[in-house]
Every structure is written in structure tokens, then in C-alpha cells.
Structure 1
Amino acid sequence: MKLRKLAQFLAWSGSALFSLVLSALLLGLIAYLWLNQQLSHYGISQWQLSLAELSSRQLVIKKLSLTINSATGPTTDNNNNQNEQSVFLQDILSLELPAFLPDQISVNELRINGSRVSDVFIHDSVQASLDLTRQQQNFNLQITTPHPTDTHLQVNRESQNWQVTFTRGGIRLNGQLNAGNGNIQATLDYPLNTEQLAVYLPIDTDALSFKQLHCSAEISGKLVAKAPLTKPWQAVESFSGVLTVDNSLQIKHQSRFNQTGLHSQLLLQPFNWQRHSKLAELLRTLYPQLVIQQGQVEADLTLDYAWTSGDWHIDDARVKLTQADWVYDTWSATQHDATAHFSATTTHLSVQHLQQKLGSLQQGFVIGPLQANMALELPLAEQDNWQLDLQQHTIEAFGGTIEVPNQTYRFNRDFDLPLVFERLSLGELLRQYPSDNVAINGKVSGTLPLAWRNNQLTLKNGYLNALAPGGHVAVDSSALTSMAGENPSLRTLAAVLENFTYRTLSSEINYDDNGKLNLQLQLNGFNPDVEQGRPVEFNLTLQEDLPALIKGLQLTNSVNEIVRERIQENLNR
């Protein structure tokens, strides 16, 4: 009887033990199959683990090794009706641990390998730690890489709220995401090294007094949970924020991604140029001939960028310049106000409307104020095909005005450019062409018919005539008197020029392609102190090397030290 009961007990316990082992094996197999399917779905092709503790409440994994290459999983692309393999963002954001797993899961040493790792962390392998809570669906992942990148990534999840912190060197990203409504907030600090800029811009880093620009960004937006991770641009419905450069220059933007590229509306906040010494240094290395000494700049535009081709285009762009002083080569300008509306591509700049006003413009002689409205068509690779459409202008100079035709100028073609002078002051002209021995007053008008031929300006048969009632000339003729000796004609000429009143003044002006200016001058008038005011007619011929004259005037008249230094450097070569 006892033996029978013992046999029955052993049979029952063996059956129960077998059922328990079989159930455990089945449960383990189900967990293995589930885990293998999930890991494969996220591109994890290989995995190994070493358990430290396992109970109904806690699972501690001593070591876990994962190899991540490419993501798999069936989806359908509605655009081309072709099946492709992809992981959706919602798969990660809504990931929940199954009920058969313990409530607490920890991975003490997590090693992640594969090509996807090097895309983000540079290293082919990184170490991490991981803690999960099944019931609250909490999640904490920390990844750190060794020197030289010193990268750290921390991801926390509490129910629907995700928080990401990423640091590498001086780069720091903080982001928060609500998986329920898709709202995202992020801040980025990024020290931009000048060596990195030199990859894209022709700058001389050795000439800069600084080695980096501090950049930061604040971003807010909305994520689309159904976007596949293989197409990250589909994950963002729209986003906006502020980019700050050098702690002061700010650019606001409203942006969105699509399948072909990026679409952004950008707004450059008004900023004073003289407060940005680093940007001024960058400009000097890019365009050594251009120096902006002061001024305020603001801009807004719409930018589209194509992912595959790298092409971009700018539309509805506006740039406003206020109270700017600048130097370009040996030209200098003051109080420059300008507003430009333009569009641009990688090959063409089109300025639909440019309205500008300058207090003064100087290259030897100073003219101004100036106002002009124009349009420009500028093929970036074909400067000979640039085109300017002058629509309206006013130019004040030497106490009078200068007019040029309002017309279209194509610089790869010959054209005529008649300059019409009205009521120019000879006294103001002589003030800018200083002479200690001559004083003159009166006003002149006339026309200089300039011609653009073979990429050079020439002038033939220009003229300037005095306006009634004429004017007055006073010449210190002591040098001429000493030269005259006993010559009566020269002594009379010297005496007449000391106090000469002219009734008419006429001139003919020619300028050839060698830079020679020829001036034929005729004056009719009298000196009331000589021979009882007998009428006198003067005929003078003057020749000047105009480029040399302008350089001399720039050295003499320039109020801009940069221009003076550049002219002196050219003369010393």
C-alpha cells in the first residue's frame, strides 16, 4: 500500500515537475522569440546576454551585447506603393514591455556595436547602462564613449514624457518630447570652430584672433509618430526657434521638412555691425577689400533646400541696411541706407528692387547725397553678363546735380552714358582739388558723353559752360611775375589773373583709353585794375593723368584712413 502511494506521488510529482519545466521552457521560448523579433525589428542582428538575477519581480542582466546594422520590419510606402523595411517612430515612443516580464529590469553593462553606432558616436562600439520599469513604463539609458570624443547620451522616459541629453566636447543638446501630443522642445549649444568654417568658406584661420564662434539654438515643434526612422524628415511636422551666433546675432525661423527637402522662413533680427568684432574679422578674411565700419542690418527670407541634389533657392527675401559706413577697395561711403528685395539660386541672384540712399560717396572727389532705385540680374558665374536697370535717381555733387540716363545697362555690351551736370559750383570743385594759388567762383553746366567700349570708359567732346553772370578768378601770380622778368606780355598776364572777372567760360573735355584727360578752356572777361578793364580772352590747354590725379586726391582729401593706407600701399609697390 505504501509503495503504491509512493509510486503515485512520484508519478504525480514527476508529471508536475515535467509540466513545470515544460512550461518554463515554453515561457522562455516565447520570451526568446518575442525578444528576438523585437530586436530584429529595430535592426539588431546579433545579441548575447549574461544573467545575474532573475525573479518574478526583478531581472538583472550582468552583460548584454547588441549588434545594430539596419532596421527591418514591413511597412508600405503610399507614395510609390512599394514594400520597404522600416521602423516607425511610434514603435519606439509607444514601446511597452509585455506582462510576462519582471517589473524591474536592469542591464549593468550594455555594449552596442555596429555601423549605426559609428554614425552617431564615431566609435564602432559603445558601453551603456539601462534601467526599465514595466508597470510605469519608465526608461533610463546612459551611453558614454571614451576619449577623444567624450560623448555622453542619456535618455529618460516617464510614461509619455521623454527627455534626451547629448554632449560631445562643447556641444550640448537638451530635448523634451511628449509622445502623447508630439510636442518637442530642445536647446542646443554648439561651439563652431574656425577650422570647421574653413572647410566651407575660403577663410584664413591664422589671421583670426579667435578660434571659435559660440552658437546656440532654441527649437520647438511637433513630431509625427507615424514617420519611419529611415526617413527622419517625415518625423517633423513643423518646427520653429531662434539661432544665436556670437551671443548676440539672432535668426528666428519657421521650418518644415518634406520628402524632397527643407522649407524655412528666416528672420534676421536687427543688429549693429560694430558690436560684432568676430563677424567683422570673418568678413575681412572672406572679402579683404570690403570693410564695414558701422551700420545696422536686418533681413527676412524663405529658403528651400533639396536633400538629394544639394540645390537651394531663396524667395521673398528682404535685406535692410541702415546708417552704414563702409569701404570697398578705394571707394568709401557714409550714411548708407538700402532696402533690397531679391531671390537667389545656386547660380543666379535677381534683385527685383533696390532702393538706396547715401550721405556721401568718395573716390578722390566726394559726391552726395545720392538716391537711386534699380533692379539687378547677376549670373553668379558670369560676371560679364551682369545687368543693371536704373529706374530713378538723384545725385548731388559740387553744389549742383548730376544726371545719368534711367535705362538698362548690360556690361557685356557697348553703351553710351552721358553725364549731365547742372549748376556745379567751381568753388566747391576747386575746394576738392586744392590749390593754394587759385581761388574761383561761379557755376557751370554741361554734358560729358561717356561711352562704354570694350570694357573701358572713354569720353569725346564733353563740355562745361559757365552760367550767367559769370564769376571771379584770383591767382597768386607772384611766381609767374618772377618768371616773366622784363617780358611785358607775361607781366600783363600775371597782373590780369590776380583779379579776373569772367563773363563766359567754356571748355571741351576728352578722355582716352590711356587715362589721359585733355581740357581746353576758354575765358572771356576783364580785370578792372589793369588797362582800365580792357576785355581779355584766355585760351588754355591742360592735360592730366586722371588715375594718378584721383590717387593724389584720395591721399589729400580722404577722410577715411583705410583708403589712405590702401592708396599709399599701391604707390609704394
Structure 2
Amino acid sequence: MTKRRRILVWAVVSLVLLVVGLGFYGGVRWQQFKRDLGIVTLDLSGVRLTFNHLAVQQIVIIRQPSADERLAVTLDSLRLEFADGWRLLPLQSLNIERLDVHWQSAPSKDDDQPLTLPNPQQLKDWSAWLPRQGQITSLELTSPCASGTCQAQGQLGWQLGEQAPLPATLDLQLNHQTHRLALALQAYEQGSDTHLDLALQLDGQQRLSMQNQLTDSSDSTLWRGTLAMNELPEAPWLLGWLSEWLAYSPPALPAMPEQMRIGAGWALQIDTQALPQDWKALNGELRLSANLPAPWPVVGLGQVQGHLDLSARADDGLWIPTELAGDLSLLPVTELFAALPAPLRPRAVSLKIIPTQTDEAAQGLAVNVQLAASGPSPMTLDTRLVLQTAAPYKAAFDHTQLKLRSAAIKGADFSLKELETDLRLNGELSQQDASIRLRKGSRLKLNSLTVASGLTASTLLMELAGLGAEAGFSDGQIHSLAVTGKTAIAVGEVKQPALRPQGWRWSGTLNADQSQISLDGPLGNDAGLSLALQLTHNRVDSATRLIITLPELFLRAGNPLDETLADWPPLLELNNGRVQGQAQLDVPGSGAVAASAKLSAKGLGGIYDRTELSGLDAELSAVLRRNQLRLDLTELTLREANPGFTFGPLRFAGEYAAPLDTLAQGRLAWSIAEVRLLGGRLWLEPGVADLASGAQQLHAHLRGLQLPLLLEAYPAEGLSGTGVIDGELQLQRSEAGISIEQGSLQAREPGGALQFRSPKIQALGQANPAMRLVTEALDDFHYDLLASDVHYATDGKLDLGLKLHGRNPALEGGRPINFSINLEEDIPALLTSLQLSDRVSETIQRRVQERLR
């Protein structure tokens, strides 16, 4: 083989290897390209390429970037014409016999990316790749919509200028059953202006026309335009068609709605770079006139009827009405007021706007506004509104009256009936702040209010005159809000398990801002109780604090506490002394409720059950924390008690702690527990008693009891004596009551004397010789020993084993005599006999007699 032939062979082999390598590389890159775009299928059939056109019989593209997103495009009979002279651009024409697009979208995700519009240079670059003319004979689109999946069929055609994008026309036709919608767009340049004209035809009749004129300047675009629509008899089928694509249910309309008219014109200066992100880029004027003799459906609102004339000016995105008049009615869609409770959702809304004259000194637009809503809760709003149409912009309203009536409203934890609201307002509103003031006559009435906690209020009246609200704005957001003023609430009757039914009243000051709400003022009721109330609710952590103060209350004029509290002991009457206190309740946003209270009583007097009380002084504090109640009685002194005999003073100091759900099974501790009894002293040593256990043992000491006072209190005729008694008593407390299992009493040395000189005893001695010695000895008995053991049962039976040693100097030369006497006394019966005498008040005597009956 010659050298030349070898070189040729190697060249051919190298060329083949290069072609194969390029083909392999190209295939790898093509597969990678399809994977990047999510293309799973790309089929072309019947491809024919010439110097002046490209023809493809069918193209099938399936793109599936994810499992739940799919796009399938099928093109039949595509023909693309090129420019002459081997030039690719501009493309001359594009014809597609059939274009079928099936789109399945992935679940929508929130996208915070702002909308961006293409700039003119981008539009110019893109238009360079568009064929100068095009036609899609059959266009079929299947895509997701509000009803699931929707289909659209139609045709699309366009025509561009020979050398430039403009002039251009676009014709889109969509078919729905036997109906046809045609949209025609024309764009052309005239001098430095760009014109865009839009026409909409329905079933061959033009129904909407819109002309736009865009004039570019160095930093903005002037957009001028008009819109006109005179009638729309095709509304029933058009709305039914749109309802498949939009989340909207069209109402039933007549076959041929009445004449309607909508016209608009505008001239707006637009910053096209800032507009998508900042609507303050708008400046200019707008005029709108609409006349709707019959109800016309508006997507998102409902059926609108009436007329509206509006002229407005935009100043950096702020729209200021310069002319306004209208008379509109609305049958709203359900979604419009879905956020309101069902009883407050209106079935129909009417709005009247009537221009009026402004003051000569004022520069602006004045209108009377009348708004009315009918439904379960009728509402009316009448106001005079004055809009300042020159900077600084503001709106003032006066002679404003808002009325609302509702038969019943129910919430998650409350219900109210027959609500009547009458608000009379004045105020101002600007871009920076707003202020509202409630005038005289503003009030809220309720026939009844029921709260889940068991509270029921009837005939409630809230006076709101004097309240005011102030708000500050920044960047369209409220940065400050304050509501202040005086208000008053009167309730005909309040029912609550812990209270007696009666009327209540509160008046005071309301202060509220974005962080907290507070109420401060006196609370009173029909019983004459007056309390100072302070309520604070923190809106940041949802914590609430309630402070109630009871000013010094003098009970000689009456006791409103027993006429207020349902659990007031029915047998306790207080008619003297004074009492004051304070309570605080803390309800956190989460966690356990905490409470504390302090009560001070001075010189209390009255009756408890069948015992007269006088001179009661007490200092009591209570704390509730983590479901544990703790009571501290730092001082309790009762000067005198009289259950049929008088004793006192009584002193006690101690504390009690128990879980809230088992209050009777707590722990009682005391440092002082004593009483002065018949000249002596009875006391307990400091100790602790656990009431959760079955029984408690207590050791009581008795010192210095005066026997003359004891015999004076005991209702035994002719019995008297002298001496001083001491003793020790072992007390036991159980569920059955108090008992004494072991007790002892003994007279102090050197003893004393006893005289029992009752005529009945003397007669008994004369009639019974065996008793004569006893009656003669006790006539003047000088004892040197008097002792007794003591037993007291829970049923009130007292047993005394009495031992008596001494003599009567006048009997048998004063020889010693010993007595062993067993005495039994029914203490409740004894006290009953004492309480039937004049030793106690008439109230106690009456209670005893009622019990005996």
C-alpha cells in the first residue's frame, strides 16, 4: 500500500471516529437536556426540510418534571416558512392544523416572589422569534380549574408587521357548545404613541370595546384608555361557562336581561418597573359610570343592581374620589361574609351615595352615605362624609348613626338574645392616623346573655357615650391603637351559682391598646354592696388579672353581703361592726389559676345559729396557688359569746391548708387557741390537726374556773357555792363530732362551800327520811375535796363522776361526810332550756321555738 493510500485510509478512519464520537457526545448531551427539562417523550414523524420551509406531520412532547405534574403537547401538520435568501429570521409564517395541550398541575404552593413584567426590550427580542403571521386551525386545551378539569376549543391567528412587531393583530376564538366567543386585539404605533384596541364578540355581536394609548417618556408611561359595554344578553351561558373555570356559582338570570351600561375612561402615569411591586407607582385620573337596571352577577361579590358614577384621582397609588354618587343593591355570595357568625351575615345590602354641599372654607367632596343590610340581623348606617381632595388627604364623618338588631347570636361559650346597638359617631381618617368618638345616645342593649360558666344576665344596657379610639398607621399597617373613655353597664338581673339573683351596675374607665385592655371603676348591686373593680387583660400572653376591693362596710346600716352571696350561712346575722377586704384573681394564658384575698373585721356583732356574738375582730388572708388553698388567720378575737350563758373573750391564731377539690380534708395548725370561760381559762397547746385522718386527739387545759359563776349559769334553783376549778380534758374530733373520752376536774385547795337551799329539796328531805341527811348536809357544806371525772359523748350527753368530801359545821358536830354522785346532763337540752329564757335575744328564742315545733 502506497503512502498516499495509507494517509487516505487513516483520514477516513479518523473522520468516522470523529463523527461517531460527536454523535455519541451529542446523544449524551441530548438525553441530559431532556432529563433537565423533565421531557420523557419527544416524537417527530413526517419531517421534511427544504430551503424555505420546515414541515412536520406530527410532534408529540410529554414533559413530567414530577409525579403529580404533567404536560402533553401534540401538534399535527406543522408548516414553518423561512425568509428568502437562506436567512432564518424573520420567520415568515406558522400554520398548525391541530394543537392539543393537556396540562396536569402540581399542588399549588405559596410563592412570595413578586410579579415581574417584561420590559420593552425583552418584548422586542421575543417578538423577533415570532413568525410574521400564524394560524392554529384547531386549538384544544385541557387544564385544571375550579371544578376539577376543564376543556376549551377554538382557533388562534395573528399577523405582525413585515419588518417590525407593529402593527399587529391577534384573533382568538373559543367555542362553547353552540356559542362562540371572539377576542380581537389590534396594536399599532401612531407617532410616539402605541395603541392597543380590544374588542369582544359573543355569538357574532360586539359586547365590549376597549381602547388603550401608551406614551413612553424617560422614566414612565402614560396610559390613556376607554372602556364601553352596553348590554350582555349572553350573560346566562357566559357565566355558566366561566363558573366551570372559577370558584363561582352563577345565579338564575332571565333569558334576556334588561339594558345595562358600563363606561370608563382613565389617564394614568405608570412607572412600569415599580408597578408590580409597589402600587404607589400609579398617578392619574379615572372616571367610571355604571347603570345596571337588573341584578348583574359580579364574581366574588354577588348580584349587583343600580347605578354608580365615580371620578377619582390617583396620587402615588392613593385613590381620592373627586365625584361620587350611586344607588346600589347587592345580593352577596356566601363566601363574601363567611368570616361573620351566621346570624350576622346579611342576605341583601343596599348603598346610597348622595352628593351634598361642603362648607365654603372646606375644599373637598361631601356626600351622604346610607348603608342598609337585611337578614337575621338588620343593620343601617347613615353618615355625612367629607373627603379632602387636596393634600393632606383626610376624611371626616359626622352625624353618623349605626344601628344593628339581632334576635340571637351563639358563640362557642356564650349566647345572647335580642341585641340592639345604636352608635352615634364622629371621627377623622387620614393616611397617618384615625380617630373616632362616640356621642351621646350611643348604647348597646341585650335582653339576655348566657356564658358557659353559668352566668346569666338579663336586661343589659351599656352606655358607650364618651368612648374614643385613636389609631396610627405606617406602611398600610396599624402600629398603634388606643381606646379610652368612660362607660357604664347596668344589668337588670344577674344569675350565677355563687350569687343571689339581683341587679348589678358598673361604671368607670376603659383603656385598651394593642398590648392590654383594662377596666377601672365601682361595681354595685341592688343589695347596696359597692366594690372597687380593676380588670386587666394582657393581649400578648392572654393573662388576665382581676382586683376587687371592698371598702370599709358598716354593718349597722345593713349587711349587703348576706343579700349578695348565695352561700352566705343562713343562720349568720351580722348587724354591727365594720369589715373591709381585697381579692386578686390571676388567670394566665396557660397554667393554673392563682388567687389571693385579705379580709379585716372590727367589732362585728350578731347571731350565729343560737349564739349571740359581739366584739369580733379578725385578720384573714387566703392564697390559692397550684390548686392549693391556704388560709392564715393572724388574729381572731371574740369579746363575748352567749349561747345561753356568757363567756369570752375567745382568741385564735393559726392557718389552714387543703387541696381545692377536698377542702374539708386539710391541715389545721394553731399557735393560739383559748377562751375565757366563767372566770377561768380553757386553752389548747400549739399544735396541728390533720382533718384527712379519721380522728384527732386534742389535750385541753382548764384553769381558774369560778364555781360561783358556773352555779349561777346552771339553771338549778337554790344552788350556790364558792371555789376555783382546774381540769384536764382529752378531746377527740371525729366525723360524728366532739367527744371527751378522758377528763378530770378538781377544786383548788383549801376547797370551798356549797349551799343547796331549794324549797323542793327541803320538801324532798322531809318526805323521805333517807334524803334528810343529804339535804341537811348540803344546806351548808364546807368541802375540802371536790373532784370529778368527765365523759362527753358526740350526742351531747355529759357524765360526771363527782367525789365530794367535807362537813356541815351545824350537823352532828361537823363530822366528815363523803359523797359519790353520778351526774348526767343532756347539754343540747340544757342549752335549749337556757335559750328559752330571757338570757338570749328574741331572735334566738324564736329560732329555738321554731325548732321545737
Gaps of 5+ in 1: 1-13, 32-39, 72-100, 115-122, 206-211, 225-233
Measured in 1, the distance between the counterparts of 2:483 and 2:647 equals 55
Which residue number in structure 2 is paired with residue 228 of structure 1?
none
The CA distance in 2 between the partners of 1:50 and 1:323, in whole Å, is 77
Change (3 A) 1:58 1:215: farther
- Aligned-residue sequence identity (percent) comes to 22
State how far apart, in whole Å, the 2-side matches of 1:560 and 1:49 are. Answer: 82
Contact 2:483 2:510 (8 Å CA) reproduced: yes
> Offset at 1:396?
1.4
- CA-CA distance at 1:278 after TM superposition: 5.0
Return the letter of the residue paired with 1:243: P
User: Structure 2: any 5+ residue segments left out of the alignment?
Assistant: 1-210, 214-223, 228-262, 268-284, 291-298, 312-320, 341-362, 389-393, 408-417, 446-458, 473-479
Q: 1:306 to 1:458 in 2, by over 3 A?
A: same
- Work out the CA distance in 2 between the residues paired with 1:435 and 1:58: 105
**Cα RMSD (Å):** 3.8
Which residue of structure 1 aligns with residue 164 of structure 2? Answer: none
- Paired with 2:657 and 2:428, the residues of 1 have a C-alpha distance of 56
Closer/same/farther in 2, CA of residues 329 and 313 from structure 1, 3 Å limit = farther
Is this contact kept in 2: 1:62–1:107, CA < 8 A?
no
Structure (1/2) with the larger strand percentage: 2
Does the C-alpha gap of structure 1 residues 356 and 538 become closer, same or farther in structure 2, counting only changes over 3 Å?
A: same
State the Cα distance separating 1:347 from its structure 2 match.
4.9
Question: In structure 2, how many angstroms separate the alpha carbons of the residues matched to 1:279 and 1:63?
Answer: 58
Which one of 269, 283, 296 corresponds to residue 578 of structure 2?
296
C-alpha displacement at 1:518, in angstroms? 1.0
SS at 2:265 equivalent:
helix
Q: What residue is the counterpart of 1:80 in the other structure?
A: none
Does residue 1:127 correspond to 2:385, yes or no? no
Aligned twin of 1:118: none
- Shift of residue 344, structure 1, vs aligned partner: 1.9
**Which residue does 1:37 correspond to in 2?**
none
- Residue deviations 1:446-501 (CA, integer Å, cap 9, x gap): 11111234544332331111113322322223222322336555333323322233
Q: Do the aligned partners of residues 394 and 547 (structure 1) sit closer, same or farther apart at CA in structure 2, a change above 3 Å counting?
A: closer
Write the distance in 1 (CA, Å) between the matches of 2:787 and 2:636. 35
SS at structure 2 position matched to 1:483: helix
The reply on whether 1:190 has 2:489 as its aligned counterpart is yes
Distance in 2 of aligned mates of 1:546 and 1:518? 10
Instruction: Return the letter of the residue paired with 1:127.
Output: T
Give the TM-score, by structure 2 length.
Answer: 0.51
Q: Do 1:395 and 1:401's aligned partners in 2 also have CA atoms closer than 8 Å?
A: yes
1:436 deviation in Å?
2.9
The residue aligned with 2:372 is 111
Q: Secondary structure at the match of 2:717?
A: coil
Deviation of 1:320 after TM superposition, in Å, equals 1.5
What amino acid is the match of 2:468?
Q
Amino acid paired to 1:154: R
The question of 1:144 aligning with 2:397 is answered no
Q: For residues 188 and 375 of structure 1, what CA distance do their matches in structure 2 show?
A: 42
Residue 61 of structure 1 contacts residue 106 of structure 1 at CA under 8 Å; is this kept in 2? no
Given that residues 264 and 287 in structure 2 are in contact (C-alpha distance below 8 angstroms), is that contact kept between their aligned partners in structure 1?
Answer: no
**Does residue 1:548 correspond to 2:829, yes or no?**
yes
Q: Which has the higher helix share?
A: 1
Separation in 2 of the partners of 1:345 and 1:251?
24
Structure 1 residue matching 2:564: 3-state secondary structure: helix
Shift of 1:60: 5.3
User: What one-letter code is carried by the residue in structure 1 that aligns with 2:544?
Assistant: L
Query: How far did residue 348 of structure 1 move?
Result: 4.0
2-structure distance, mates of 1:433, 1:46: 92
1:401 aligned residue: 681
SS at match of 1:436: coil
Q: CA offset at residue 308 of structure 1?
A: 7.7
User: Which among 812, 817, 832 is matched to residue 536 of structure 1?
Assistant: 817
Distance 1:471 1:278 in 2: 52
Mark the CA change 1:416 to 1:323 in structure 2 (over 3 Å): closer, same or farther: same
AA partner of residue 303 (structure 1): L
| Native 8 Å contact 1:336 1:358 kept in 2 | yes
2:626 & 2:379 partners in 1: Cα distance? 40
Q: Alignment partner for residue 339 of structure 2, among 70, 75, 91?
A: 70
Aligned mates of 1:540, 1:270 — CA distance in 2: 55
Aligned residue among 502, 505, 509 for 2:790: 509
Output the TM-score relative to the length of structure 1: 0.73
For the residue of structure 2 that corresponds to 1:435, the secondary structure is: coil
Taking the aligned partners of 1:64 and 1:337, their CA distance within structure 2 comes to: 72
Q: Larger C-alpha radius of gyration, 1 or 2?
A: 2
State the shift of 1:520 in Å: 1.5
Please name the residue that 1:357 is paired with: 637
Pick one of 344, 356, 370 that aligns with 2:650.
370
Aligned partner (choices 418, 443, 468) of residue 749 of structure 2: 468
- Any residues of structure 2 matched to 1:182-261 within 5 Å, and which? 184-194=483-493, 196-198=494-496, 200-201=497-498, 203=500, 212-224=502-514, 234=515, 236=516, 239-246=518-525, 249-253=530-534, 255-258=536-539, 259-261=541-543
Distance (Å, rounded) in 2 between the aligned partners of 1:502 and 1:542: 18
Rounded to whole Å, the distance in 2 between the matches of 1:177 and 1:292 is 46
8 Å Cα contact 2:577-2:602 kept in structure 1: yes
How far the C-alpha of 1:505 sits from its partner, in A, is 1.2
> 1:178/1:273 Cα in 2 relative to 1: closer, same or farther (>3 Å)?
farther
| Separation in 2, partners of 1:487, 1:493 | 10
How many corresponding residue pairs? 488
Alignment of structure 1 residues 327-338 onto 2, 5 Å: 327-338=607-618
The secondary structure found in structure 2 opposite 1:431 is helix
